[in-house]
């Protein structure tokens, strides 16, 4: 059994484990401001305390063993855990930096980190490459937190620079709800990375009962629903667990979910050629989301070897989006970032281990 990581604990918990309390402040700074990878990095911590902590806790529960860089700047990381298992996380450049005519920086580039919550996934979506590898285990809280720390460190992204987190990597986040919720709280720590709930989005394939549990936790996060179909027959083909959590149960759970009155619930709709890209489906989607303050994110299906599904045409995507917008739904078409390195939605599967 491997030792827990310091990244497994909230600051409040560390205050009960480490004395005196000012040492916790120092250690927290090393972890989340300096991105320390070992106790040797913590120069102002007494050697005796470092040795005592090292007997009980590790600092960093994962390491980067490979990374691939896309032509669009997306970086996919292969990460190895203490038990030798691997998973992936993705660094996404969302907006370029903006400069004035004089060459001064007006706005920094904006980034998002796509975080995994499990090694593999048990949901088994028919369109998703991650599902082909099966499910191995949940990630610990520290392993979820360490992904963000590792990617910020590798990209020399200062702790106080704005970053968004989307839990859209490997695994179903709500299947690992307790560890996920604790990681969310750790990210929000003011003395740490200070990533507010408003900048964290939990994506779920639709565990309706756990959508309710997440809502009861009142973490202040956004939620994104992987809907992908407007009728239960097709959705069950795409997402087999729809048999237990059908569309109606998901919609009702979403209506109960607490959201900022200024925000919208995101519905992810993976568009597959000749499956769900017709205007009849668009019409049904408008009706389905009636009464919900919703935003629809249309996503191109990203093909991979052996899949029976095909990528839709740009024309069908635009027509679909235009119909939704014309009928009152806020809608965007997501660019497929990192598709050339299999880092786009549904393509994450541990590979290229060095």
State whether 38 and 152 are in the same domain: no
Same domain, 37 and 180: no
- Of 22, 40, 56, at which residue does a domain stop? 56
| 304 and 331 together in one domain | yes
Catalytic residue among 68, 114, 143, 345: 345
- 313/188 same-domain check: yes
Segments forming the whole domain that contains residue 43: 6-56
Residue 302 among known ligand-binding residues: yes
Q: What is the CATH number of the domain that holds 41?
A: 1.10.150.530
Task: Report whether pLDDT(204) > 70.
Answer: yes
| Residues 118, 218 within the same domain | yes
pLDDT attached to residue 132: 76
Interval 229-246: pLDDT, tens: 999 999 999 999 999 999
Same domain, 31 and 91: no
Indicate whether 90 and 111 sit together in one domain: yes
User: Is the pLDDT at 344 greater than 60, yes or no?
Assistant: no
Judged against a pLDDT cut of 60, whether residue 352 lies above it is answered with no
Q: What is the mean pLDDT of residues 121-125?
A: 91
pLDDT of 1 above 60:
no
Lowest mean pLDDT among 70-79, 197-206, 313-322, 328-337: 328-337
Is the confidence at residue 351, as pLDDT, over 60?
no
The reply to whether 331 sits in an annotated binding site is no
**Domain tally for the chain?**
2
Q: Are residues 245 and 140 in the same domain?
A: yes
What is the pLDDT averaged over residues 191-217?
96
Q: 343 or 136: which carries more pLDDT confidence?
A: 136
Asked if 95 and 232 sit in the same domain, the reply is yes
Residue 235 domain-assigned (yes or no): yes
Q: Which one is catalytic: 88, 143, 268, 350?
A: 88
Average pLDDT over residues 263-271: 94
Enter the pTM of the model. Answer: 0.92
State yes or no: 194 annotated in a binding site.
Answer: no
114 is in an annotated binding site: no
3-state SS, one letter per residue, for the chain:
CCCCEHHHCCHHHHHHHCCCHHHHHHHHHHHHCCCCCCHHHCCCCCHHHHHHHHHHCECCCEEEEEEEECCCCCEEEEEEECCCCEEEEEEEEEECCEECCCCCEEECCEEEEECCCEEECCCCCCCCHHHHCCEEEECCHHHHHHHHHHHHHHCCCCCCCCCEEEECCCCCHHHHHHHHHHHHHHHHCCCCCCCCHHHEEEEECCCHHHHHHHHHHCCCCEEEEECCCCCHHHHHHHCHHHHCCCHHHHHHHHHHCCCCCCCCEEEEEEECCCCCCCHHHHHHHHHHCCCCCEEEEEEECCCCCCCCCCCCCHHHHHHHHHHHHHCCCEEEEECCCCHHHCCCCCCCCCCCCC
Statement to judge: residues 28 and 73 lie in one domain: no
23 and 157 belong to one structural domain? no
> Does the structure show a pLDDT above 50 at 251?
yes
User: pLDDT tens digits for 159-197?
Assistant: 999 999 999 999 999 999 999 999 999 999 999 999 999
CATH code (residue 197): 3.20.20.70
Per residue in 86-116, pLDDT (tens digit) is 999 999 999 887 888 888 888 888 999 999 9
Band (319; pLDDT cuts 50, 70, 90): very high
143 annotated active-site:
no
Residue 67 sits in the same domain as residue 84 = yes
Q: Is 116 annotated as a binding residue?
A: no
Residue 275 falls inside a structural domain: yes
249 falls in which pLDDT band (50, 70, 90)? very high
Asked if the model's pLDDT at residue 342 lies above 80, the reply is: no
Question: Is 114 marked active-site?
Answer: no
Q: Is residue 219 part of a domain?
A: yes
């Amino acid at each position: 059994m491997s030792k827990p990581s310091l990244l497994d604990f909230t600051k409040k918990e560390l205050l009960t484990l480490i004395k005196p309390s000012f040492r916790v402040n120092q250690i927290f700074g090393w972890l989340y401001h300096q991105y320390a990878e070992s106790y040797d990095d913590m120069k102002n911590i007494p050697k005796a305390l470092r040795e005592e902590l090292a007997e009980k806790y590790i600092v960093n529960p994962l390491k980067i063993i490979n990374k691939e860089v896309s032509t669009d700047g997306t970086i996919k990381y292969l990460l190895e855990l203490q038990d030798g298992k691997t998973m992936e996380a993705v660094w996404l450049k969302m907006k370029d930096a903006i400069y004035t005519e004089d060459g001064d920086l007006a706005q920094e580039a904006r980034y998002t980190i796509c975080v995994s919550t499990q090694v593999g996934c048990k949901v088994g979506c028919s369109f998703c490459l991650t599902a082909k590898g099966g499910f191995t285990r949940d990630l610990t809280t520290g392993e979820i937190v360490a992904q963000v720390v590792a990617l910020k460190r590798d990209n020399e992204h200062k702790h106080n620079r704005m970053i968004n987190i989307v839990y859209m990597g490997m695994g179903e986040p709500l299947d690992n709800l307790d560890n996920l919720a604790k990681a969310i709280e750790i990210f929000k720590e003011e003395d740490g990375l200070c990533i507010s709930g408003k900048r964290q989005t939990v994506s779920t394939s639709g565990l309706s009962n756990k959508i309710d549990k997440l809502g009861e936790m009142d973490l202040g996060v956004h939620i994104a629903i992987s809907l992908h179909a407007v009728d239960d027959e097709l959705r069950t083909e795409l997402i087999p667990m729809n048999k237990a959590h059908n569309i109606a149960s998901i919609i009702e759970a979403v209506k109960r979910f607490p959201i900022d009155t200024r925000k919208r619930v995101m519905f992810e709709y993976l568009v597959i050629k000749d499956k769900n890209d017709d205007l009849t489906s668009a019409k049904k989607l408008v009706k389905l989301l009636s009464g919900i303050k919703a935003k629809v994110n249309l996503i191109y299906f990203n093909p991979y070897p052996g899949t029976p599904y095909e990528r839709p045409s740009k024309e069908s995507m635009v027509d679909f989006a235009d119909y939704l917008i014309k009928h009152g739904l806020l809608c965007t078409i997501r660019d497929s970032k990192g598709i050339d390195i299999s880092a786009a939605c549904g393509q994450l599967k541990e590979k290229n281990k060095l």
